[in-house]
Amino acid sequence: MIPDNVDGGVAVYNVVEDSPADEAGFKKGDIIVKLGNKDIDNLADFRYQLYKYSPGGEVEVVYVRNNKQEKTTIKLGDGE
């Protein structure tokens, strides 16, 4: 997944095929607004929160698609 800053969250700019983001159902244009229990306002928030989780772990993500808030769980890659 390639993220980018937008007002009120982090937009998914691109989703790599067969990546954890792809497997979780993310699509280009989704806006991530919460990662775990932390609101995400910008890319710095996203990165800081993401580093709190271990490779191979799972985290709940709240995102906006077509002006509707959705939830999914993403299994983080193992770094390989």
DSSP 63: E
For residues 69 and 44, give the distance between their C-alpha atoms in angstroms, rounded to a whole number: 21
The arithmetic mean of pLDDT across residues 56-60, rounded, is: 92
Tell whether pTM > 0.75: yes
Please report the pLDDT score of residue 32 as a whole number.
96
Mean pLDDT for all residues in the chain: 90
Residue 80 has pLDDT above 90, yes or no: no
Alpha helices in the chain (DSSP H): 20-23, 43-50
The arithmetic mean of pLDDT across residues 22-29, rounded, is: 94
- Residue 23: phi and psi, rounded to 5, are -65, -25
41 touches 49 (CB < 8 A): no
Residue 64 has pLDDT above 80, yes or no: yes
Q: Residue 33 is inside which H or E element, if any?
A: strand 31-35
